[in-house]
Amino acid sequence: MKFLVKLVGISMILVAIYNVWVVIDVPPAYKVLANSTVDSNSIVTAGVDSGKGNLLGIQPVLQPIHYANKVTLRENLRSYLKAAKLRGYLNPKTVVVFPEYIGSWLVAMEQKSSVYEKADLTDAMTAVITANLFKFAVAYFSSPDDVTEKDKYAAFAMKAKQIADAYNEIFSELASEFKVTIVAGSVVLPEPSINEMGKLKISRGKLYNTSAVYSPEGKLQSPLVKKIFPINDEAGFTASGDPTQVPVFNTPSGKLAVLVCADSWYPTAYAKLGTDIKMIAVPSLGAVDSVWNAPWNGYNGFKAPDDVDTTDYKKITEGEAWQKYSMGPRANNVDIPFGLNVFFTGNMWGKKAEGRVLVLDKNDLSVLPATTNSGRIVNLWLH
């Protein structure tokens, strides 16, 4: 009995020491980091203001330290919106589009300073998991049976409530402050839904790569858009969204469709959009130049649609395939005249994302070059 009491006492001391160690050297809430500034060379605009609204792509250059806490991330994103406002690009009919996975890196929020200084993603995530060991273990052993990459699943699921709350708060506040519609990139969450209070809710279960849309009043809009066609790198820990979902939103500038990255390559994802869609937003993660300019290996994760010329495999580049088979031509096929495909950019623990932007202006599709060291604002006036 004495041994058991002693063991419990030692365990409690160890847990207390662990809990203290976890919060030591957590960085403070920074306001705005220097590399979030936007100059005139980082702003691209197309068309003229005819009073019909605009699509505005915000492509912040992001690094691990931006995810130290929700204040740091919010204020850095806010700096881009302030720059856009100063140039007259924000109005009640503006639809702002952020990149895919912009919310998912919140898994690293409120960790030790050393986490944000790691050069390697594996080292950084190991440190994050070590600081959340009990939560990780619970998520790992309660993961759905069909999850093949349980470690990745648990890494996202272990802090899901914290991530969901921060993500919802950040983008709700920004939409409300600047009085614009925001397509909040995407975030990976377990069984996300909207609760009776209009807040983002999560439940235990499968992970979905999910995009949320916020109204100019800061309200989370229904539905949540869940990626239907996860690529191979996602398939081991995220599930496919319902192909019958209708990701269409009424905005002050007209009907908006939202598709997450690879979904823009499949006719099935466009089938439920209906008619009179004015614009489409596609948040994407992106690819480095070595991939974008390399021979295209074909569809990733799912069978190519019937209208795809598979002889293009290895014949055209990845970039040329994006222009031939994704948002541009497919949106035009269903009479959507305007669109922005906004890619993530920055350096997340050695994983560089070279952000491009695809701009659809009726029958004209243009591709902006990659950017890695500076953020960018892309404005498309609707007409």
pLDDT of 15 strictly over 50: no
- Confidence (pLDDT) at 26: 55
Q: Which of 86-90, 194-198, 221-225, 352-356 has the lowest mean pLDDT?
A: 352-356
Question: Does the structure show a pLDDT above 80 at 36?
Answer: no
Is residue 13 pLDDT above 50, yes or no? no
DSSP 57: E
Q: What is the mean pLDDT of residues 45-71?
A: 95
The pLDDT of residue 37 is above 70? no
Is 33 a residue whose pLDDT tops 60?
no
Q: What is the pLDDT of residue 39?
A: 63
Which pair of tokens denotes residue 241? Answer: 């969204």
Q: What is the mean pLDDT of residues 244-263?
A: 97
User: Which pLDDT does position 287 carry in this prediction?
Assistant: 74
Amino acid 355: pLDDT: 84
Q: Over the Cα atoms of the chain, what is R_g?
A: 21
Q: How far apart are CA 282 and CA 297, in angstroms?
A: 22
Average pLDDT over every residue of 369-382 = 90
Please write the tens of the pLDDT for every residue from 101-122: 999 999 999 999 999 999 999 9
Q: Which amino acid is at 101?
A: Y
pLDDT at 16 over 70: no
Model pLDDT, residue 38: 67
Q: How confident is the model at residue 77 (pLDDT cuts 50, 70, 90)?
A: very high
Mean pLDDT along residues 320-325: 97
Q: Output the pLDDT for position 201.
A: 95
Whole-angstrom CA distances from 80 to 86, 167, 356, 361 are: 10, 17, 17, 23
pLDDT attached to residue 371: 84
| Confidence class for position 12, pLDDT limits 50, 70, 90 | very low
Q: What is the mean pLDDT of residues 265-273?
A: 96
- DSSP class of residue 295 equals B
Structure tokens at 356: 């491009």
Q: What pLDDT is stored for residue 40 in this prediction? A: 66
The Cα–Cα gap between 175 and 183 comes to: 9
Cβ 376 vs Cβ 370: under 8 Å: no
User: What's the pLDDT tens digit per position in 160-217?
Assistant: 999 999 999 999 999 999 999 999 999 999 999 999 989 999 999 999 999 999 999 9
Please tell me whether residue 116 adopts helix, strand or coil conformation.
helix
What is the spatial distance between Cα 354 and Cα 347, in angstroms, rounded to a whole number?
Answer: 9
Tell me the C-alpha distance between 155 and 139, whole Å.
8
Neighbours of 369 (CB within 10 A): 10
Tell me the mean pLDDT in the region 336-345.
97
Q: Where are the beta strands (DSSP E) in the chain?
A: 43-46, 54-59, 61-62, 94-97, 181-183, 187-190, 193-194, 200-201, 207-214, 220-226, 248-251, 254-258, 277-284, 338-343, 345-348, 351-353, 355-361, 364-371, 376-381
Pair of tokens at residue 340? 């922005």
Q: Any idea what DSSP says for residue 206?
A: -
The string of DSSP codes covering 240-261 is PPPTT---EEEETTEEEEE--G
Average pLDDT for residues 271-297, to the nearest whole number? 92
The amino acid at 241: G
Q: What's the pLDDT at 42? A: 86
Q: Which two tokens stand for residue 258?
A: 């939202």
| pLDDT grade for 8, boundaries at 50, 70 and 90 | very low
| Residue showing tokens 């890695």 | 372
pLDDT tens, residue by residue, 88-105: 999 999 999 999 999 999
Q: How confident is the model at residue 372 (pLDDT cuts 50, 70, 90)?
A: confident
Report residue 83 as tokens.
């720059």
Listed residue (140, 97, 174) closest to 338, CA to CA: 97
pTM: 0.92
Give the list of residues 6+ apart from residue 380 with CB closer than 8 angstroms, or none.
Answer: 45, 46, 47, 54, 55, 56, 57, 338, 340, 359, 361
CA dihedral sign of residues 111, 117, 122, 123: negative
Residue 43 pLDDT greater than 60, yes or no: yes
Q: For residues 154 and 204, is the Cβ–Cβ distance under 8 A?
A: no
**What is the percent of the chain with per-residue pLDDT over 70, rounded to a whole number?**
89
Residue type, 314: K
Cα–Cα–Cα angle for 220, 355, 74, rounded to 5 degrees: 40
Whole-number percent of the chain with pLDDT over 90: 83
Q: What share of the chain is helix, strand, coil (3-state, %, to 5)?
A: 35, 25, 40
Query: Does residue 279 sit in helix, strand or coil?
Result: strand
132-146, 177-191, 250-264, 369-383: range with lowest mean pLDDT: 369-383
Joined tokens for residue 231:
């690529």
Pairing of strands 43-46, 376-381: parallel
